[in-house]
Amino acid sequence: MRLSGETVILHLKDGSIGLNEVGTHIWGLLRAPCTVQELLDSILSEYDVDPEQCKMDLLVLLDQLSVKGLIRIEEK
């Protein structure tokens, strides 16, 4: 569900997660299998952000989504 440019993901088991504009962009990219580096590259090409901070924030978000069972992270 999108509300004022943000996305709310309703997970019936664990509640909801609110995503800002960047989080919504990432969620859209996660529709297809991708690597963390591909996600990072896409964010850095779209937004003016510090690469190290971006990577840390991305990893936190991916961990939150994984813990809630919304995505599956696989090692290569």
8-state DSSP, 47: S
CB 71 within 8 A of CB 48: no
Q: pLDDT, tens digit, for every residue of 16-43?
A: 778 888 998 999 999 999 999 999 999 9
Give the global pTM.
0.80
Handedness of CA 44, 66, 24, 57 (dihedral sign): negative
Q: If you average pLDDT over residues 45-66, what whole number do you get?
A: 95
Q: If you average pLDDT over residues 5-14, what whole number do you get?
A: 58
| Lookup: tokens for 27 | 């969620």
Computed over every residue of the chain, the mean pLDDT equals 85
CB 7 within 8 A of CB 1: yes
Order of strands, sheet of 2-3, starting from the edge strand that comes earlier in the sequence = 2-3, 6-11, 15-19
pLDDT at 1: 47
